[in-house]
Chain A
Amino acid sequence: MNIEAKLGLDVFKIDEEPHIIIDQEICKACEEKYCLYVCPAKLYTVNRETGDMEVECSGCLECGTCRIACIHGALDWNYARGGFGIQYRFG
């Protein structure tokens, strides 16, 4: 089962406003780019055209792994706004 299918099982209340803001200047200088593979939902990608780091906040499990792994501090990280984001039924 791939990760997209797994996220498809979860209940998300989508917010138009992203809750993770990326500082592209820091990302451009970052060699490790840990965010690309630590996210258990695999939400970080590099945009092929612009080279920008992108995160798909609508599938965020709000675990915070990227916040801890981003040792360069490129993430202005918050939880989804109240009443939005992942809503675990089982947890």
Chain B
Amino acid sequence: MAEADEGKVEVVIVGAGLAGLSAAYVLAQAGVDTVVVERGDYPGAKNVTGGRVYMAPLRHYLPGLWDDAPFERHVTRETLTMMAEDASTAITLDSGRFRDEPYHSYTLLRGTFDRWFGDKVAEAGAFVLPKYRADNVIMEDGRVVGIVMGEEDEIRADVVVAADGVLSLIAEKAGLRKAQEPGHYAVSAKEVIELPAKSIEQRFNLGPDEGAAQLYFGALTKGMLGGGFLYTNKESISLGIVVGIGSLLEKEPKLEVHELLEDFKGRPEIRNLIAEGETVEYSAHVIPEGGIRAVPRLYSDGIVVIGEAAGLGLNVLLTVRGMEFAVASGVMAAEAIKEARERQDYSASSLARYQELLAESFVLKDLETFRHVLDFMENPRLFGYYPQAVCDIFTDLMWIDEKPKPKISSTVIRKGLSKFGKWATVRDALRVLRI
């Protein structure tokens, strides 16, 4: 028994992303003996965001931690763009509230951000072990009692926290999740494009440290579920495209994500924003899109699943969220583990407290509220017909030629009826009411 206890810790966390590091931070502060295993050379080495993080959940769940965090820019302009083949219509919100401190959201890059967070976690007293890949869980009498790394190494623990990202091989091996359905996930490809801060601020009409967040949907994904994103960092732009894997498999003729990204970059709406910029990194990441339906079992004897490993992400077209869920779920898992530790009971019934906490919070409540959003977004008209129709009507209103111009109301009514006065549109409108 003494031998088995050697090298045993109280908690082993697989994955130094935002979820794993948040859990580790809370546990370490409570004096819990915690190890974080990370397969990359440093926390962040394997991590990709779009991205931007919304701050209120972070401040609520880990107060006081973020003051010196290496965020890029606080977002002051939000833009949603509908793209037709040869036109686009954009809506921008520039609100005074976005300029009030504490700021609403920040852009960030995970390579720098997660490394900073890893240092904070180490300062708090957890041990972060980079360059180790967790390959499997150790099961004894039906309960998880640790992890295996490579041929020889293992770490035994009271609890294993699966924070190993969207594919969560650990949750799968512990029997908490079945094979992943293509329809519940999207693939994203992104470039980081360097530009001087001054150019970014001029091109996007921003003050120093102010940032823009822009989402695009329509012709850029050729009718497939997905869209584009652009976030301004201090001295770079994160530009990418997201496509549902299920849509990609069904699409004829076949299309490739990296080509869609090139086409997107070539559009006049984007081309001028990134002109003279230098691409310095290309990345790809799978995103959970299945909402509440793709959430696996979240706990079992000796294990909990957090962050993207738990399928926690939510894209509702206007906002794309994930990192907030990661931090919140990590903190709640840690709280549940602390309570289990007081009871010295790490069984499933004891760790069920984690799910209770999640269910009471915005995490599972928001996933439940937006349960039908994927059904709504799987509609090809959203990515083809509607953006085109809106751009066509707008073009008619703006276009001046030598002929007498009809009344604005007449153009809107006539065109609007011809484009939207259809049974399919009424059905789609009714679907909007469900989200």
Contact = CB atoms under 8 A, between A and B. Distances in A.
Interface string B237-256: 00000000100110000111
Nearest to B39: A82
A28 to B, nearest CB: 20
Contacts of B191: 6
A40 B150 contact: no
Contact of A13 (B41, B180, B254, B258): B41
B166 A88 contact: no
Interface in B398-426: none
A41 to B, nearest CB: 7
A87 B282 contact: no
A34 B112 CA distance: 34
Contact of B254 (A37, A61, A80, A90): A37
B48 interface: yes
B39 A80 contact: yes
B286 A65 contact: yes
B241 to A, nearest CB: 9
Residue of B49, B109, B166, B283 with most partner-chain A CB within 10 A: B283
B39 A88 contact: no
A15 to B, nearest CB: 11
A5 to B, nearest CB: 9
Nearest to B255: A37
Given A89-B111, A90-B109, A34 B249 contact: yes
B258 A69 contact: no
Contacts of A13: 41
Interface in B39-56: 39-42, 44-49
Interface residues of A, number: 37
B131 A9 contact: no
Interface in A32-86: 32, 34, 37-38, 40-42, 61-65, 67-69, 71, 73, 78-83, 85-86
A32 B249 CA distance: 9
Interface residues of B, number: 52
A65 B187 contact: yes
A57 to B, nearest CB: 14
Contacts of A7: 282
Contacts, number: 138
A90 to B, nearest CB: 4
A49 B192 CA distance: 38
A1 interface: yes
Contact of B257 (A10, A40, A88): A40
B180 A6 contact: no
A69 B249 contact: yes
Given A41-B284, A87-B40, A71 B182 contact: yes
A3 interface: yes
A68 B172 CA distance: 13
Given A64-B167, A68-B180, A38 B257 contact: yes
B258 A68 contact: no
Contacts of A62: 46
Contact of B256 (A37, A82, A87, A89): A37
Interface of B: 39-42, 44-49, 109-112, 114, 130-133, 135, 149-150, 166-167, 169, 179-182, 185, 187, 189, 191-192, 236, 245, 248-249, 254-258, 262, 279-286
Nearest first, the 7 closest Cβ-Cβ pairs linking A and B are A83-B131, A91-B110, A6-B282, A40-B284, A82-B133, A63-B284, A91-B111
Given A68-B180, A90-B112, 7 more contacts: A38-B245, A40-B256, A64-B166, A81-B39, A87-B45, A88-B44, A91-B45
18 contacts: A10-B283, A37-B255, A38-B256, A61-B282, A64-B286, A69-B182, A69-B248, A81-B133, A82-B39, A82-B132, A83-B39, A86-B283, A87-B45, A88-B48, A90-B112, A90-B192, A91-B44, A91-B114
